[in-house]
Structure formats: C-alpha cells, structure tokens
Amino acid sequence: MENIDEIRQMEQRADQMLDATGLACPMPLLKARQALAALDIGQRLHVICTDPGSWRDFESLAVHGVHHLATRRQDDDIYHYVLIKGH
C-alpha cells in the first residue's frame, strides 16, 4: 500500500473533487456516481465524505462496477477516496 504522502499526492492530482461531507448514506455514493458519469474514462475523482458507511459502499462500487478504487484513507471522521473512471 502507498504511504500517506503518495496517497495525498494522488488526491491532489485528481481531475475533480467532490465534497460530500455531511451527506448521509446513500448520498455520497450517488453523488460520486453522478460525478464519475461526467468524467472521461481514466480520469480521477477525489471524494471527501463523513459517512462511515461510505467505506463499505465505495469498496462495493469498485468490486461490482466498472470503476477502480485507486486509494482510500480515513483521517479522523473524514473519509477520502480516489476513484478512476472505468469503461
């Protein structure tokens, strides 16, 4: 796994950032899907949210969908995800 500096660099290099803090399940995931739909294949989306259930939701999105979960991290009560749009 990457170290924290590599993860933060990946977050900063994202093509788009989605701030979903304060949104409850399933809204962070729905908003992320909408944002990914607007991106080109291979572009990166950095999602920031506070919903603890998002950890499982974004993992499931990557496992059962076409998008790749490049990295994720928890910083206290804030969750960060970098998704790469798939086909």
Handedness of CA 81, 67, 26, 45 (dihedral sign): positive
**Cis bond leading into 26, ω under 30°?**
yes
Closest by CA to 44, choosing from 80, 4, 3, is 80
- Options 7, 23, 25, 69, the catalytic residue: 25
Query: Does residue 25 carry a catalytic annotation?
Result: yes
Question: Would you please indicate which residues are annotated as catalytic (active-site) residues?
Answer: 25
